[in-house]
Structure 1
Amino acid sequence: MVSTDLTVGGMTCAACVGRVEKRLARIGGVSAGVNLATGRARVLHPADVPVADLVAAVERAGYTAETAAPGAPPTPREEEPEEGRLLLATLLALPVLALSMVPALQFPAWQWVCFALAVPVVTWGSAGFHRRALRGLRHATATMDTLVSLGVAASFGWSAYALFLGGAGAVGMRMPFSLTATGGAAHVYLEAAVGVPLFVLAGRRLEARVRRSGGSALRALAELGAKEVCLRGEDGAERLVPVELLLPGQEFVVRPGERVATDGVVVEGGSALDLSLLTGESVPVEVGPGDAVAGATVNVGGALVVRATAVGADTQLARITALVAEAQAGKAKAQRLADAVAGVFVPCVLTVAACVLGFWLGAGAASQTAVTAAVAVLVVACPCALGLATPTALLAATGRGAELGVLVRGPEVLESLRRVDTVVLDKTGTLTTGRMALTDVTTVRGTPADEVLRLAGAVEHRSEHPIGRAVAAAALERCGALPPVDGFAATAGLGVRGTVEGRAVRLVRPDAAAAPLPPELARAVAAAEEAGRTAVLVEVDGQAEALLTVGDTVRAGSWRALHRLRGLGLEPVLATGDGPGAARAVARELGIEEVHASASPERKAELVAELRAGGRRVAVVGDGVNDAVALASADLGVALASGSDAAIGAAGLTLVRGDIETVVDAVRLARRTLATIRANLLWAFGYNLVLIPLAAVGLLNPMLAAVAMSLSSLLVVGNSLRLRTWQPGRGRRPKR
């Protein structure tokens, strides 16, 4: 079997996704998964099936298609420019709604004014619905656009008939309420004709904004790598070229602050690399000749010369990108309930309306009464409430979530939270600050800790290494101004030295000490290694004076956040790229029982798959590129806004504030939003189930049907707006 990616254009709803998948599946041996958010179709097909046949099949379904490189970042899909139609519908529909629904406002010839205002809304404003409905009719399918087009056409057509032929055009006519279909010829239903496109256009705009953000994870990953590389020729000359021209075996230079252009091996120089974006490792890793390096990592130390070993699709970053694309393809299977039932609902409504018309005519009723009853069925079935149920709740939740520091991606994400019982948490940058800080100072022979830290900080103040910056920052905070240093020198992978106030000060790795360590410092080294932190030995005039412990620190509120997650019935699991010592130390401090240390991006994704295979519903909380695959493959992904764009793009929820406790607020807001969407859909369907039979038997005229349809929409909107006042309800703080 061969895998081919297609870019599909023209899809607007989940029903379109199903149509493309079914059309491709008609080709023998072909299966396809279509992602509405990215506009991509991943097709598995026999090698003897040409790609041209796949493209032709999509085009026969009424869409456009072209081949796309597997794993390549999707370009934002072009949305139909509906902003002008929405503005027109808003300006013209509001007066029509007011005049039609409030009899006291009806002046002489008001109905003709409403008719003139409604014509642009019904024609140009609703053109997109009519065009897509006709396209579906040509392919013998029905979507939400079919319902909208039918509702607009039925209500406007009957209104035109009533105005020109039914006596409703008389000057001075007013529309009284009537509960039955009899006498309905003097009524116009222009409020339904303009209200349906107004409400649905607004909802579609909100949904389009959500869809456009769906491919951001892959675009962010593609932009993460270096754009240019400094090649070094055989003669030692250097030249800057686009990274696409780099070939395996070529050597390139990586200066301090630059990203490594691609995977390779160091041939010259020594430095420290920040691997946190790819591996989650919080401590920069020292590298030298012979050490392997990964593309997209950041050089935070000296200059390096690297020989490229892999480029393009063979790099570690490219593999992560492909895994994210694979994981996101599975999410496209979730379809909104309204779109899923549209193919059955529309034929049923048409059948009922035709049967009602035939029954009344066969029973000897007046033609106006029969037509009025049939139109009432079509008008009452207009899908305003169905179209508003999800986007209005999403809008309200998004606004409230933004105020609370939570960004919600879309309804399909909220639906997946229904039975989440396990939360996989990254360590670096999620539970911890992700920044190096001084955590402990151990001295010997009664030497004051602040005095040793003052001398050490003076030397490290000249260093650019993250550990040195952490020591210098702590010294400045605790000791104030630092004395000057003379003869500063740094040795890559070893440490720094200098003369401060006439005293020789050296900061090195403990294993590089000039003499055996005193017992108290040896114990401090062992404790630092057990906790997964970095130990720095301070020697003054050749004597070991102190041991500085530097490491990542737990975020304020992490313990309380985990306590509240357990209160919601969620079990925390720690998965980190850090070593076992650092992982166990954080787990002990936060009370996490299940720990997975030294976890690569692939291993994190495997862990999510294993948990899901065991029957668990998994949410993943992370902030780096190393978390992107797990975020995309989990039932729910939660990213910190302080993290990478790739993690944010792959996640369903994004936490804007640095407060880790916002995770709990996000979970509770998501659950509340899902409950609101369910209530909205229940009302929308229940309303149709009750009122369509009433309209069919003549107990509901089109005017009252339009009122009921509008009220159902208002109830759905009102229920959704309750989310704007939702409070997290943190309650009492737990005692540790």
Structure 2
Amino acid sequence: MSHPDEIRLASRDLGGGRFQTDLSVPGARCAACIGKIEKGLGQLPGVEAARMNLTARRVSVTWRGDEVPDMVAALEGVGFQSHLTGAQQDDKDPELSRLVRALCVAGFGAMNIMMLSVSVWSGADPQTRQAFHWISAAIALPCLIYSGRIFFQSAWSALRHGQTNMDVPISIGVILAFGLSLFDTIGGGEHAYFDASISLLFFLLIGRTLDHMMRDRARTAVAGLARLAPRGATVLQEDGRREHLPVDQIEPGMKVLLAAGDRVPVDGVVLEGLSELDCALATGESEPRRVEAGSPVQAGVLNLTGPLILAATARARDSFLSEMVALMQAAEGGRATYRRIADRASALYAPVVHTAAFATFLGWMLASGDWHRAITVAIAVLIITCPCALGLAVPMVQVMAASRLFRAGVMVKDGGGLERLAAIDTVVFDKTGTLTLGRPRVVNATEISAEHLALASSLARGSNHPVARAIADEGQGPGHAGLQVVEHPGLGLEARHGGHLYRLGRATWALDGRGASASVGTVLARDGHLLAEFTLEDTLRPQAREAVAELKALGVRLLILSGDTPDAVAGVAERLGIADHGAGLYPADKVARLSALAAEGRKVLMVGDGLNDAPALVAAHVSMAPGEAADIGRNAADFVFLHKGLEAVPTSLRTARRAGQLVKQNFALAIGYNLIALPVAVAGLVTPLIAALAMSLSSIIVVANAMRLRGAPTVRQTAGKSIQRRADMPASPVEATA
């Protein structure tokens, strides 16, 4: 248990005597847990608010006063162990390993017991039937103990504290089915239902494992972004000594030495030095940004070319990078609303079914006085109304949709993303690396003489700068060998050849100020005189125009939100015909724009690739990133498309809309089945055996309906361009009314 002094030191001072403490609650699993945790903490003296993030399994507590509230004890009182966030970290995920092992054991047991049951159902003689029942019991018991403990431990923890959760009725149903089957087996009964109890565990564990994996993926995105922060930095002391300090010990005003290739540890301002920074984390800019004395820098950006001395302006926990992590965590907490709705719907379903089963038992006891008959009918009600079909309604469609999208080069990382994607009415694109490939190209190469182009290419080969690489690619032949090229960070390249000084880079530098106002881009100069000017533009991603036309046909609104310069963003927007665009945006600005769209009632798909897009990808209703995106962007996105072409966006949207239709059909089938099956079972017209078969049949019907999503690709013409399309995708709203 954490000591109060330890909790106070780990808490963030909000000012005015208010503090915020983050506690990890690994045992929180469902919407009911959220309510218990927030209510239990809210009753403590001094606690103003408690907010549970189910995905991160972390609760943030805001409190006031001199005495630290006993939060750990309060959580233990409602059945949850807790510890300070970060106090226990492990690269492995023991919970996922436990779920997978339980799933494998339940699957093995269910398959073997089902094979034995087939022989019994087929009319085996009494001796063989009795032997198979005992073998089934021997297989079912260890499976029940090992795999069922996932539910039994959770149910017992809730009951021990006078609470209930969805695992309570699940545990009762499984134990009753096994217990009656064992009783009948001992008494030489004709029927036993071990297969029903273990199969029920198997299906429920599938859903729980998938849910855990989806939540863990969201936590990985946040953790990956946090790892971009350096662990320490070299600080220049007042007496000239250099000392390496942990990053959380760097205070505002300290001088930080930054070598080329290092990431900026904290927000600061440049005191000395000249360099270029890779600001993809902050702005997604297509080109490195030149910094000099007086330039502000943000934590997490990468120093590329020269050493710098910075003056820290903020602590690590108040830095730009920490703000991005907080944005992602806050957005993920908000997106958990969808999961809460689903959890509450499931939690309401189980008590209704088990109440009906208990009422059936009492009714048959009063009517017949035969407890065996009454409990058999009650178990039949439990089994026949088992929500397996309802539980498969969404996952099976998601599996088929994911398989289909994979064939189209799109990876589905979050099954719930398909449901959200089907509802979108707005698509927001990042520019660099998304609508474009982030690689500039020379568009006026044919207007430049071959001699000047070869010379510029020879100079450019001495640099890894994106503009230099683009110019180098345009050169033909070997060029000018033996040039001694010197790179000036933030300015350009220079070399002496034939008694002349050649420069390739910024006009103001290459021309020594002569005529610089007429040339604002990249130029080649000899002795300060202009030889050639290079016009560059970013290369559009393949099929970008076709994808934009297709999305317009689908009736969605299109926007570009980018950290790049206004001219660069406006140029791409004009080339693609997208009227609404914003430039010079930081991650928080993008999140704010997405929040404004959400406030208007818009459902937004965010398509981005850079480190700076990660908070926006998490904050959006649903998100997508290209396969070559930064690791953080791929982790944060719900979908990743592996091909270069942007056609993946409309293809995914059409598939998601079709999947949404099939999910609704599956829900209708599952609910219709239960409306018919429940009264039949209550009337005692089915045995647990028939109930198990009916339950399986309903699941098969749902799976078969989901398989209708399979189909071969076809080609459709949109705006005169060829667009790949699947045969059974639904028409867009525009097509439907045409």
**What is the TM-score when the length of structure 2 is the normalising length?**
0.86
Q: Does 1:42 align with 2:60?
A: yes
Q: Distance in 1 between matches of 2:485 and 2:572?
A: 35
| Residue equivalent to 1:462 | 462
1:255-654 equivalences in 2 (<5 Å): 255-335=259-339, 339-364=343-368, 366-441=370-445, 449-475=449-475, 479-500=476-497, 504-512=501-509, 513=511, 517=515, 522=518, 525=519, 535-540=521-526, 543-654=529-640
| Residue equivalent to 2:26 | 9
Give 3-state SS (helix, strand or coil) of 1:553's partner. strand
1:38–1:74 Cα contact (<8 Å) kept: no
Q: Distance in 1 between matches of 2:465 and 2:652?
A: 36
2:178–2:193 Cα contact (<8 Å) kept: yes
1:99–1:105 Cα contact (<8 Å) kept: no
2:264–2:300 Cα contact (<8 Å) kept: yes
| Residue equivalent to 1:172 | none
2:544–2:646 Cα contact (<8 Å) kept: yes
| Residue equivalent to 1:79 | 95
1:426–1:575 Cα contact (<8 Å) kept: yes
| Residue equivalent to 1:93 | 110
CA gap 1:712/1:638 in 2 versus in 1, 3 angstroms: same
| Residue equivalent to 2:75 | 58
Question: Stretches of 4+ moved more than 6 A in 1?
Answer: 72-77
| Residue equivalent to 1:201 | 205
Q: What letter corresponds to residue 99 of structure 1 in structure 2? A: L
| Residue equivalent to 2:145 | 123
Q: Between 79-88 and 218-227, report the one with greater CA deviation.
A: 79-88
Give 3-state SS (helix, strand or coil) of 1:354's partner. helix
Q: What letter corresponds to residue 68 of structure 1 in structure 2? A: T
1:665–1:728 Cα contact (<8 Å) kept: no
Task: Kindly state the Cα deviation for residue 696 of structure 1 after the two structures are TM-superposed.
Answer: 0.6
Q: Deviations over 1:254-288 (max 9, x none)?
A: 33333223222222221211112211221211111
Task: Kindly state the Cα deviation for residue 472 of structure 1 after the two structures are TM-superposed.
Answer: 1.9
| Residue equivalent to 2:655 | 669
Task: Kindly state the Cα deviation for residue 619 of structure 1 after the two structures are TM-superposed.
Answer: 1.8
Q: Deviations over 1:225-280 (max 9, x none)?
A: 23343344556565555434434333333333332232222222212111122112
Q: What letter corresponds to residue 373 of structure 1 in structure 2? A: V
Q: Between 101-110 and 569-578, report the one with greater CA deviation.
A: 101-110
1:420–1:619 Cα contact (<8 Å) kept: yes
Q: Deviations over 1:152-200 (max 9, x none)?
A: 22222221222223x42xxxxxxxxxxxxxxxxx322222122111222
- Structure 2 gap segments, 5+ residues each: 1-17, 722-738
| Residue equivalent to 2:9 | none
Task: Kindly state the Cα deviation for residue 708 of structure 1 after the two structures are TM-superposed.
Answer: 1.0
1:438–1:470 Cα contact (<8 Å) kept: yes
| Residue equivalent to 1:229 | 233
Q: Distance in 2 between matches of 1:18 and 1:645?
A: 34
**Which of 697, 711, 720 does residue 735 from structure 1 map onto?**
720
Task: Kindly state the Cα deviation for residue 711 of structure 1 after the two structures are TM-superposed.
Answer: 1.8
Give 3-state SS (helix, strand or coil) of 1:265's partner. strand
| Residue equivalent to 2:6 | none
Q: Distance in 1 between matches of 2:340 and 2:703?
A: 18
Aligned residue pairs total 696
- Structure 1 gap segments, 5+ residues each: 169-185, 530-534
Q: What letter corresponds to residue 663 of structure 1 in structure 2? A: V
| Residue equivalent to 1:152 | 174
Q: Between 494-503 and 377-386, report the one with greater CA deviation.
A: 494-503
Q: Distance in 2 between matches of 1:16 and 1:587?
A: 47
1:241-260 equivalences in 2 (<5 Å): 241-260=245-264
Q: Distance in 1 between matches of 2:490 and 2:342?
A: 61
1:612–1:618 Cα contact (<8 Å) kept: yes
Q: Distance in 2 between matches of 1:701 and 1:489?
A: 87
Q: Distance in 1 between matches of 2:576 and 2:90?
A: 40
Task: Kindly state the Cα deviation for residue 672 of structure 1 after the two structures are TM-superposed.
Answer: 3.5
Q: What letter corresponds to residue 480 of structure 1 in structure 2? A: G
Q: Deviations over 1:624-656 (max 9, x none)?
A: 232222222221122333223333333322333
Give 3-state SS (helix, strand or coil) of 2:277's partner. strand
Task: Kindly state the Cα deviation for residue 678 of structure 1 after the two structures are TM-superposed.
Answer: 3.6
Q: What letter corresponds to residue 426 of structure 2 in structure 1? A: T
Q: Distance in 1 between matches of 2:106 and 2:138?
A: 13
Q: Between 555-564 and 47-56, report the one with greater CA deviation.
A: 47-56
CA gap 1:494/1:153 in 2 versus in 1, 3 angstroms: closer
Q: Between 705-714 and 363-372, report the one with greater CA deviation.
A: 363-372
1:130–1:145 Cα contact (<8 Å) kept: yes
CA gap 1:273/1:378 in 2 versus in 1, 3 angstroms: same
Task: Kindly state the Cα deviation for residue 391 of structure 1 after the two structures are TM-superposed.
Answer: 3.6
CA gap 1:560/1:368 in 2 versus in 1, 3 angstroms: same
Task: Kindly state the Cα deviation for residue 452 of structure 1 after the two structures are TM-superposed.
Answer: 0.9
1:243–1:261 Cα contact (<8 Å) kept: yes
Task: Kindly state the Cα deviation for residue 576 of structure 1 after the two structures are TM-superposed.
Answer: 0.9
1:503–1:540 Cα contact (<8 Å) kept: yes
CA gap 1:487/1:610 in 2 versus in 1, 3 angstroms: same
Give 3-state SS (helix, strand or coil) of 2:628's partner. coil
Task: Kindly state the Cα deviation for residue 590 of structure 1 after the two structures are TM-superposed.
Answer: 0.5
Give 3-state SS (helix, strand or coil) of 1:307's partner. strand
| Residue equivalent to 2:5 | none
Q: Does 1:19 align with 2:23?
A: no
Q: What letter corresponds to residue 463 of structure 1 in structure 2? A: S
Q: Deviations over 1:275-333 (max 9, x none)?
A: 12211221211111222222222222223222322231122111222222222211222
Aligned residues with identical type, % of pairs: 35
Q: Does 1:67 align with 2:84?
A: yes
1:336–1:412 Cα contact (<8 Å) kept: no
2:549–2:718 Cα contact (<8 Å) kept: no
**Which of 186, 199, 210 does residue 164 from structure 1 map onto?**
186
| Residue equivalent to 2:733 | none
1:485–1:499 Cα contact (<8 Å) kept: no
Q: What letter corresponds to residue 220 of structure 2 in structure 1? A: S
Q: Between 268-277 and 303-312, report the one with greater CA deviation.
A: 303-312
Q: What letter corresponds to residue 474 of structure 2 in structure 1? A: A
| Residue equivalent to 2:643 | 657
Q: Does 1:699 align with 2:685?
A: yes
Give 3-state SS (helix, strand or coil) of 2:535's partner. strand
1:232–1:251 Cα contact (<8 Å) kept: yes
